[in-house]
Structure 1
Amino acid sequence: MPSTPGRAWLLRLVIAFSFAQGAVSMARPAVSYRALSLGADERAIGVIAGVYALLPLFAAVPLGRRTDHGRCAPLLPVGVVLIAGGCALSGTAGSLGALAAWSGVMGLGHLCFVIGAQSIVARQSAPDEQDRNFGHFTIGASLGQLIGPIAAGSLIGGDMGRTSSLALLVSGAVAAVSLTSLWRIEHVRPAGASSERGDKVPVLGILRTRGVPAGIFISLAVLSATDILTAYLPVVGEHRGIAPATVGILLSLRAAATIACRLVMTPLINLLGRTVLIVVTCLLAAVLCAGVALPVPVWGLGVMLVLLGFCLGVGQPLSMTTVVQAAPEGARSTALALRLTGNRLGQVAAPAGAGLIAGAAGVAAPFVMLGGLLLVAAGLGLRRSPAGPQPPDGLGKARPATEDERGGAGDGRCTDPGSRATTGRA
């Protein structure tokens, strides 16, 4: 880890991500409730949830290319401004079309923030620290997902149109708070350092790299599950007579379990290895997602969501490490952007598919679809090439990097993207 100024940059990044993700997690269910107040049905909810990911779907790779050959930090405040504006303007939208458009702006802001933040973590972490640092980084997302739904549920009441609008305006203010932590996040290379950038690696070349496609699909499946839970649990609650405040608590229980998972991620990897951990958690998550479709009591739904949150907590940070360590030199930000493109593709297709399925087979059916998606992810996790050198036991535990392999990453500088000091990987 960088020795100057220690890991303070990571703490500030986690704090900023907590507020930014908290705003988004507060806004997503509020958008669903506002859409319902404007007369939306299940299909329209799915379309609006999909538009959130539509603009990012086209912007991810160009932003990744830019980050590979430049600084990462400028993307963070741009992302915050777009998130805050998208949230606040969604609260003033008077039609489903306007609501969908501002939801898309919110999604674009979230993409900008995440590409910049993930690239910083990749550049400033040594190979043997990437699982831990990505795990800690994603705790910021989980904290936001824990607090956001509770805040939304506490604000949304009987007058759904007015209270959902208030929740969206508040979420915009919450996003703006993250600007206070965005200082000295990125360690800029000193003047006179090498400015050689190397040739761009073709996108198809990155996608053909062994381990990258599996990491992208695992991330897509896990995020789709989280996204549809956030967007569709309010609809399930409406159909089963569960109050918005209770739905918010249920979503936050899932997020709390995800935080718990990421706090114990390193011992779990040491015990089971990356491959076994990914496969087992995806399999369990598939069963639990399908279980949400059952007409269980609220307490039973809460237990399932806690277990589901713990299982889903594994996929995101480990898929980041998988993609970063498998990607070619000088293209790791682009590889992370491709992973986010896969995420957004899932966020477009999965809610739209969920809306069609819900309209035809009921609101519980999308959760069965998620179960199938996670089963496929488990299969790919079993077949993927584990990232990094493997020990003789074959469980997927990467050995610590030698001092030579670190290539000076410990100095904490965000140096040339093509150099070893940028990513800490030989």
Structure 2
Amino acid sequence: MPPEPRPGRGWLLRLVIAFAFAQGAVSMARPAVSYRALSLGADEQAIGVITGVYALLPLFAAVPLGRRTDHGRCAPLLPVGVLLIGGGCALSGTSGSLPALAAWSGVMGLGHLCFVIGAQSLVARQSAPAEQDRNFGHFTIGASLGQLIGPIAAGCLISERDGAMARTSALALIVSAAVAAVSLTSLWRIEHRAAPGAPRGPDRKVPVGRILRTRGVPAGIFISLAVLCATDILTAYLPVVGENRGIAPATVGLLLSLRAAATIACRLVMTPMLRRIGRAALLSTTCLLGGLLCAAVALPVPVWALAVMLAVLGFCLGVGQPLSMTTVVQAAPADARSTALALRLTGNRLGQVAAPASAGLIAGVAGTAAPFVMLGALLVGAAGLGLRRGGTRAGTGTGGGTVDKVPAPGAAPAPGAPEYQEPAAERPCAERDPA
């Protein structure tokens, strides 16, 4: 049987563009929601609750969506996610109460989850093992582009002058809905179809407990959770810190975008860093330095020093997400990779529910800078896991971590080493993952 044709790279470029617009809409809407909540009389605790509701609905939807994607197509989730993101943004802009604002923020979070599960599953399914670090890194550039542009746009639209915060934050949310709709233009022919007659694997469900017990999966989930919580609380609480320190919304938007630009720079050079440093050392070092910098945000430093810290922090945070995706995908059973990615996203959303709520309580008691100290401790814990679990499986990495050497085809393996297997692109369809 001839091998299944490999997809070209055009699908990845279109996916990055679509993700950039979808993430740009969310990154524009998140600080706008915080400013709109402030205009409606919210305090630090209420901001924490509203930020947490964004992640609440996805907690219950992630695993069912992952199960569906493991044995079906990925692409249909993408437009559904865009429509939910756009609807949540627009309705947040028209809401006039804190409960309604929280509810529509949850709809926005559900849409983001649908889009991300479909997109990550596409990358995992359509990338050879040796390409996964690179392709996940390029995929997350789309997120970083959105995080770069979104806060700047929100900062330019939102104004505190003459009591205009309520009106301008609503405008920013409406504009973010239009930005989300633009991503629909890049979602054509994005999923590679299997060759006609290619056999499918059995539609069996791998128990969630077995996936979570697989070595490497819990570490990947926790590292991803810690990095995302740092990014999320930074986006939601830097406006509050700026309000307390007299930093204008436009400047706050520029600071958040500087952090995102540094993340893009990190992902552009990730493959050389992996080859030179190794996966374990890269994960642990960046998480440790990121934790120290998160805690340093609590210090009353001038704006220029805050900008330098956020730039270095953004570079450090750029490592964790793509490498945690590869860690989970390569560790999980072959017919449960979308479910494993969904569990990773469930961990992310659990952190997004618990961390902002905890941050709100801490901020109410110890001040608005205290949540950043909490994030520092979380990232330091992730650094320890990165050191222990940062290696890749034999023959699947890109040069990082403790990758075992794979013998050439036909050569006898070293004592105790795994037998050589053909690369995924060269094995017959029946031996590969179901498309």
Coarse TM-score class (shorter-chain normalised) = over 0.9
Whether 1:61 aligns to 2:67 is no
Does 2:198 match 1:196?
no
What are the within-5 Å matches in structure 2 for residues 247-326 of structure 1?
247-326=252-331
Report Cα offsets for 1:314-373 as digits up to 9, x if no partner: 000000000000001200000000000000000000000000000000000000000000
Q: Give the superposition deviation at 1:4.
A: 5.8
Deviations, residues 56-80 of structure 1 (Å, cap 9, x unaligned): 0110000000000100000000000
- Which residue number in structure 2 is paired with residue 92 of structure 1? 94
| Equivalent residues in 2 for 1:80-159, closer than 5 Å | 80-157=82-159, 158=161, 159=164
What is the 5 A alignment of 1:307-386?
A: 307-384=312-389, 386=391
Give the stretch that moved more between structures: 226-235 or 400-409.
Answer: 400-409
d(CA) in 2 for partners of 1:409 and 1:225? Answer: 40
Aligned 8 A contact 1:47 1:351 in 2: yes
Q: Distance in 1 between matches of 2:89 and 2:281?
A: 39
CA displacement, residues 226-273 of structure 1 (integer Å, 9 cap, x when unaligned): 000000000000000000000000000000000000000000000011
**Whole-Å Cα distance in 2 between the matches of residues 216 and 204 of structure 1?**
14
Instruction: Specify whether residues 294 and 179 from structure 1 end up closer, same or farther in structure 2 by C-alpha distance, changes over 3 A only.
Output: same
Question: 3-state SS of the aligned residue for 2:334?
Answer: coil
Residue 432 of structure 2: aligned partner? 420
C-alpha RMSD of the superposition = 2.0
Change (3 A) 1:409 1:16: farther
Closer, same or farther: CA 54–294 of 1 in aligned 2, 3 Å: same
TM-score by length of 2: 0.92
Report how far residue 200 of structure 1 moved: 1.0
Mapped to 2, the partners of 1:405 and 1:257 lie a distance apart of 37
Q: 1:382 to 1:192 in 2, by over 3 A?
A: same
Cα distance in 2 for residues equivalent to 1:296 and 1:25: 25
* Contact 1:72–1:186 (Cα < 8 Å) also in 2: yes
CA contact (8 A) 2:158 2:169 kept: yes
Counterparts of 2:144 and 2:408, CA distance in 1: 32
Distance 1:338 1:155, change over 3 A: same
**Matches of 1:3 and 1:343 in 2, distance apart?**
34
1:270-308 Cα distance to aligned partner (Å, 9 max, x none):
001111000000000000000000000000000000000
Distance 1:401 1:104, change over 3 A: farther
Alignment partner, residue 425 of structure 2: 408
User: In the alignment, which residue of structure 2 is the partner of 1:216?
Assistant: 221
| Residue number in structure 2 paired with 1:46 | 48
Q: Hey, what's the Cα distance between the residues in 2 that align with 1:303 and 1:339?
A: 31
Q: Cα distance, 1:133 vs. partner? A: 0.2
C-alpha distance 65-276 of structure 1, shift in aligned 2 (>3 A): same
1:165 maps to which residue? 170
Measured in 1, the distance between the counterparts of 2:261 and 2:400 equals 31
- 1:173 and 1:401 mapped to 2: Cα distance? 52
Query: What is the deviation of 1:407?
Result: 2.9
- 1:131–1:321 contact (8 Å) kept in structure 2: yes
Q: How far is 1:378 from its partner? A: 0.6
Q: 1:420: how far off?
A: 1.9
**Alpha-carbon distance in structure 1 between the residues aligned to 2:406 and 2:314:** 29
| Contact kept in structure 2, 1:128 and 1:398, CA below 8 Å | no
* Residues in 2 aligned to 1:79 and 1:150: alpha-carbon distance in whole angstroms: 23
Q: Which amino acid aligns with 2:424?
A: G
Structure 1 residue 388: Cα displacement: 1.4
Shift of 1:410: 9.4
- Contact kept? 2:281, 2:390, Cα under 8 Å: no
Could you list the runs of 5+ residues in structure 1 that have no partner in the other structure?
Answer: none
Q: Tell me the TM-score normalized by structure 1.
A: 0.94
CA distance in 1, matches of 2:5, 2:406: 18
State the AA in 1 paired with 2:234.
L
Identity of aligned residues (%): 78
Deviations along 1:193-250, one digit per CA (max 9) or x if unpaired, are: 2133242110000000000000000000000000000000000000000000000000
Cα offset for 1:421? Answer: 4.7
2 CA distance for matches of 1:173 and 1:398? 48
Alignment partner, residue 18 of structure 2: 16
The residue type paired with residue 86 of structure 2 is A
Gaps of 5+ in 2: 410-420
Output the amino acid matched with 1:84: G
Partner of 2:28: 26
**Alignment partner of 1:207 is 2:199:** no
Confirm or deny: 8 A CA contact 2:335 2:433 kept in the other structure. Answer: no
Check conservation: 2:7, 2:192, Cα contact below 8 A: no
What secondary structure, in the 3-state scheme, does the structure 2 residue paired with 1:330 have?
Answer: helix
Q: Distance in 2 between matches of 1:40 and 1:183?
A: 41
Deviation at 1:395, TM superposition (A): 3.5
CA contact 1:14–1:137 (8 Å) conserved in 2: yes
Of the two, which has the highest radius of gyration? 2
Q: Residue 396 in 1 paired to residue 402 in 2?
A: yes
